[in-house]
Amino acid sequence: MQRRNRYQEDEDIIYGVRAVIEAIRSQRPINKIFIQRGMQKELFYELKEELANKKYHLQFVPIHKLNRMCKKNHQGVIAQVSPVEYVSIEPILEGLYEEGEAPLFLILDRLTDVRNFGAIARTAECTGVNAIIIPQKDSVSITSDAVKTSAGALNRIPVSKVADLSSTIHYLKESGIQIVSSTEKGSKPIYEVDLTVPTAIVMGSEEDGVSNKILAESDVKAKIPMSGTIASLNVSVSAGIMMYETSRQRME
């Protein structure tokens, strides 16, 4: 059986210089823009002007990668678009405080697997998470596959994509949010952490967990107690345990 190219007939891409320019002008949510390395076409300079002073994630790639992503005339430019709008975290936080609620956010530090992202979002929606925060670079984005895996939860739960995760964490801490990182390096079991207060739970990447920089900025390093011999859990399972422990404490 022939393996399907993961870019083939991708409903999450738009291609062609003019189409991408119009998507930028209309402020369509864009996850990433792929540009042919070394391209010097006249239209490309118009695209460069349009991109000036805008914080898009650009990736300059060889033409054969673009050809795998799109079999049609892409003109050296392909944009990966999001099926839903990203949001700013500030108005969400302000609104929750105005309503007298204890905010609960989920921060995903360099998570890259779309299926894990979808599964985590589904659990987050079921456990009352107010918003998910992801970094702009080196991170999964909202795609149609992620929405499908989330059983539509990504159409319901706000997702904020931020340029600098550390700056966002600093803002949350200054706003009274407790930062709790899930890590096997932690000394405090998760059920001993007070999760009824305004909290942001941090889950790390599939490869190496929460980065050392984010761990250093965290208020609490919490671990999930385990009695087996395998060193760690799948990140979506770990996230589920963290979120349901939070939900348990807040329902008591």
What DSSP line would sit under 199-234, residue for residue?
EEEEE-BTTTBS-HHHHHH-SEEEE----SSSS---
Which residues of the chain form CATH 3.30.1330.30?
A: 13-81
In CATH terms, the superfamily for domain 89-251 is: SPOUT methyltransferase, trefoil knot domain (3.40.1280.10)
> Please, what CATH class does the domain formed by 13-81 belong to?
alpha beta
Q: Each residue's pLDDT tens digit in the chain (252 positions)?
A: 333 344 434 568 999 999 999 989 988 898 999 999 988 777 778 888 898 888 888 999 999 999 999 888 899 999 999 999 999 999 999 999 999 999 999 999 999 999 999 999 999 999 999 999 999 988 999 998 899 999 999 999 999 999 999 999 999 999 999 999 999 888 899 999 999 999 999 999 988 999 999 999 999 999 999 887 776 789 999 999 999 999 999 998
Closest CA to 121 of 138, 135, 106: 106
pLDDT at 1: 32
pLDDT in the model for residue 171: 98
- H or E element: which one contains 122? helix 114-126
Beta bridge partners of 205: 209
Q: Is 72 exposed, middle or buried (0-12, 13-18, 19+ CB in 10 A)?
A: exposed
**Eight-state DSSP code of residue 14:** E
The predicted model scores a pTM of 0.84
β-bridge partners, 162: 135
pLDDT for res 10: 53
Enumerate residues 6+ apart whose C-beta is below 8 A from 238.
182, 203, 224, 232
pLDDT of residue 6: 41
Task: Please tell me the distance from the alpha carbon of residue 148 to that of residue 225, in angstroms, as a whole number.
Answer: 31
